[in-house]
Amino acid sequence: MARGIDRNWTINLYSSARLPDLVFYFCAPPDLLTKRITACREIKFYEAGQDVTGLRDSRESYLQFAPKVMEEYAKLHRECGFIMVDARRSICDQHQFIRQTYEEYLTKPEIPANAFLSQLMYK
């Protein structure tokens, strides 16, 4: 995983937690996210992955580290059905997408509680 932690260990750690009904993942390119963060504050040490990259410049570290984190979320999207939200779109468009997706979810038949967890356990 992005910080070098064993994936199966992490999955096992959370195995007793209740699974969410829906997970929305807001995705945007790292350079755009860097601009958004630095527009109002400094990028924090662990957020930038400086503990992993060893870089002193938090911006450069973030640009190297964020794609690794995003890769892990992309795997979770494929394995667990995370719903990707294009964070480049306007807030209004994102809200409409989430609302529509949630309303569609409410009309679907129930999915077994541990359907996705059992898939993860054997990856």
CA 8 to CA 120: how far, in whole Å? 8
pTM of the model: 0.73
Residues in the chain: 123
CA 102 to chain centre: 18
Q: Is residue 47 part of a domain?
A: yes
pLDDT tens, per residue, the chain with 123 residues? 667 788 888 888 888 888 888 999 999 999 999 999 999 999 999 999 999 999 999 999 999 999 999 998 998 888 888 899 999 999 999 999 999 999 998 888 765 554 544 444 333
**Number of domains composing the chain:** 1
pLDDT confidence of residue 112: 54
Domain span at residue 37? Answer: 7-121
Q: Is residue 2 part of a domain?
A: no
pLDDT confidence of residue 108: 81
